[in-house]
């Protein structure tokens, strides 16, 4: 397993361009299974999770033609559904979270979809009930083998049939999966309590450009009029909003002047304002974000009545849970106190132990809540050796290491590489002292 060695304490300077969004790319790549025509996808991030999914599609028989870097043309005209029943698939399908979203398209187009328990971060319970309840509502038969955690759905002879459904929770990958199954079902499906992240808006736009009939895009009520078949299209993935948030946090905590290029401001939702609540100056310059060097630190804004600032996650358009670990680390050097409330996942805050070792003042109240008492840079974090437990804790620890005095070591960096493209190289380009060993 690789490690990063990071010498912290020096401000960075320059421009950084976000990669394509990992979580959008996972949905979009699965959607290529919905047609036998060519689908060209641009701005695909070159990261472990995405590359694993591309390999999986290739093993299913999807033709993959690489264009310029980041652009691939897929053609699913000779899909080998038999691959789903092989031992190789059982291993491969369980290696990442996003693979769950091949089930909806396969069920819709080929009448069956199987998947082993998907991987992804170990950040608490990650149920799949919403996905499978959705397929069952469309008429699919469901089976689950408890021994090897293998899930399967099959459609009846007459195919899937549209219906009205109310999801038990606004699951991101669950909504994507159900939408991809419903686009080819007979009749109309309505999905209420649908997730509506930009990832999903992009997926629906892509499906519509392939000939699907989806309305309500961007809201929590989607109406999908089923069509006979879909055709090819070209789609460009948005910049990764979680990477953008990560670079905002990095800039503030290392007192660096950084411009984040081409961020697609209209798709950032509450992200800029949430960092502003920590006292970080974020300027909109055309479609870039400019962050000045915070030489005098940043001061947390309290609520109107003076009570302690709380930053909590919520389904979109709420604040994404994937940025809470980054907000937490940035708060350790703010002037003022912040309560971080991670409502969705119960094991995502345990990495604070490592920050406490580095000298951060954090009180973990329970698995979901931590109070951070900012140092206001009066005391610098100390370098240490740490292991990255999940992707976002990993990047948070990396930010902490870049702001700390001395040389830190981060182990288990595959966790970071699965979501951040050539991160060491890109950070070195703006002056970071980071090497991969």
Ligand X SMILES: CC(=O)N[C@H]1[C@@H](OP(=O)(O)OP(=O)(O)OC[C@H]2O[C@@H](n3ccc(=O)[nH]c3=O)[C@H](O)[C@@H]2O)O[C@H](CO)[C@@H](O)[C@@H]1O
Ligand Y SMILES: C=C(OP(=O)(O)O)C(=O)O
Q: How many Å separate Cα 386 from the centre of its chain?
A: 23
Q: Report what 170 binds from ligand X, ligand Y, none; CB cut-off 5-8 Å by kind.
A: ligand X
Question: Which of 9, 18, 120, 336 forms a contact with ligand Y (CB under 6 A)?
Answer: 120
Cα–Cα distance for residue pair 380/160, rounded to 1 Å: 59
Q: Which of 56, 28, 206 is nearest to 119 (CA)?
A: 56
Question: Which of 126, 186, 335, 361 forms a contact with ligand X (CB under 6 A)?
Answer: 126
In the bound state with ligand Y, the residue whose beta carbon lies nearer, of 97 and 426, is 97
Q: Exactly one of 121, 240, 313, 390 is catalytic; name it.
A: 121
In the bound state with ligand X, the residue whose beta carbon lies nearer, of 322 and 424, is 322
Q: Report what 211 binds from ligand Y, ligand X, none; CB cut-off 5-8 Å by kind.
A: none
Question: Which of 97, 109, 131, 277 forms a contact with ligand Y (CB under 6 A)?
Answer: 97
SS3 of residue 285 by DSSP: strand
In which residue are the tokens 């979580």 written?
23
Q: Binding-site residues for phosphoenolpyruvate, please?
A: 22-23
CA 170 to each of CA 138, 174, 175, 196, 317: distance values in angstroms, whole numbers, following the listed order: 18, 8, 7, 8, 11
Q: Binding-site residues for UDP-N-acetyl-alpha-D-glucosamine, please?
A: 97, 322, 344
Using CB under 6 A as the binding rule, the residues of this chain from 311 to 340 that contact ligand Y are 322
Q: Report what 243 binds from ligand X, ligand Y, none; CB cut-off 5-8 Å by kind.
A: none
Q: How many Å separate Cα 27 from the centre of its chain?
A: 11
- Reading the block at residue 309, the tokens are 């600032």
β 433-436/406-411 pair status: unpaired
Is residue 260 packed enough to be buried (19+ CB in 10 Å), middle (13-18) or exposed (0-12)? buried
- Residue 392 in contact with ligand Y, rule: CB under 6 A: yes
CA 316 to each of CA 44, 271, 320, 345: distance values in angstroms, whole numbers, following the listed order: 23, 11, 7, 15
Q: Report what 169 binds from ligand Y, ligand X, none; CB cut-off 5-8 Å by kind.
A: ligand X
Looking at 294-302, 320-328, 349-357, 380-388, which segment touches ligand X (CB under 6 A)?
Answer: 320-328
Q: Binding-site residues, please?
A: 22-23, 97, 322, 344
Cβ atoms of 133 and 181 closer than 8 Å: no
Beta bridge partners of 397: none
User: Which residue's Cβ lies closest to ligand Y?
Assistant: 120
Looking at 118-126, 233-241, 273-281, 358-366, which segment touches ligand X (CB under 6 A)?
Answer: 118-126
Reply yes or no on whether 240 is catalytic.
Answer: no
Q: Where along the sequence are the contacts to ligand Y (CB under 6 A)?
A: 22-23, 97, 120-121, 322, 391-392, 419
What are the catalytic residues?
121
């Amino acid at each position: 397993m690789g490690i990063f060695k990071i010498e912290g304490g020096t401000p960075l300077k320059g421009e950084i361009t976000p990669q394509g969004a990992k979580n959008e790319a996972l949905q979009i790549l699965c959607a290529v299974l919905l047609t036998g025509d060519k689908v060209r996808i641009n701005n695909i991030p070159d990261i472990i999770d995405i590359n694993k999914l591309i390999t999986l599609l290739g093993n299913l028989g999807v033709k993959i033609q690489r264009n310029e870097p980041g652009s691939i043309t897929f053609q699913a005209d000779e899909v080998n559904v038999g691959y789903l029943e092989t031992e190789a698939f059982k291993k491969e399908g369980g290696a990442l979270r996003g693979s769950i979203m091949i089930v909806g398209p396969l069920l819709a187009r080929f009448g069956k979809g199987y998947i082993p328990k998907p991987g992804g971060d170990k950040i608490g319970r990650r149920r799949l009930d919403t996905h499978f309840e959705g397929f069952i509502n469309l008429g699919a038969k469901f089976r689950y083998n408890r021994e090897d955690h293998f899930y399967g759905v099959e459609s009846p002879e007459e195919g899937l049939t549209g219906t009205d459904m109310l999801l038990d929770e606004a699951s991101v990958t669950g909504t994507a999966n159900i939408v991809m199954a419903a686009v080819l079902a007979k009749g109309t499906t309505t999905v209420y309590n649908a997730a509506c992240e930009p990832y999903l808006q992009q997926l629906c736009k892509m499906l519509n450009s392939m000939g699907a009939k989806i309305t309500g895009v961007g809201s929590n009520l989607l109406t999908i009029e089923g069509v006979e078949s879909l055709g090819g299209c070209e789609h460009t993935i948005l910049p990764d909003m979680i990477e953008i948030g990560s670079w905002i946090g990095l800039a503030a905590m290392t007192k660096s002047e950084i411009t984040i290029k081409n961020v697609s401001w209209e798709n950032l939702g509450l992200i800029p304002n949430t960092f502003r609540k920590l006292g970080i100056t974020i300027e909109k310059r055309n479609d870039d974000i400019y962050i000045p060097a915070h030489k005098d630190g940043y001061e947390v804004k309290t609520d109107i009545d003076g009570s302690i600032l709380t930053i909590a996650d919520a389904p979109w358009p709420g604040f994404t849970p994937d940025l809470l670990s980054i907000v937490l680390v940035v708060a350790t050097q703010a002037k003022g106190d912040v309560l971080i409330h991670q409502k969705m996942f119960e094991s995502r805050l345990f990495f604070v132990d490592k920050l406490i070792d580095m000298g951060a003042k954090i009180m973990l109240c329970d698995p979901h809540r931590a109070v951070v008492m900012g140092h206001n840079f009066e005391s610098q974090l100390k370098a240490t050796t740490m292991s990255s437990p999940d992707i976002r804790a990993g990047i948070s620890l990396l930010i902490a290491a870049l702001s700390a005095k001395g040389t830190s070591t981060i182990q288990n960096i595959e966790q970071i590489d699965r979501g951040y493209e050539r991160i060491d190289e890109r950070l070195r380009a703006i002056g970071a002292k980071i090497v991969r060993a």
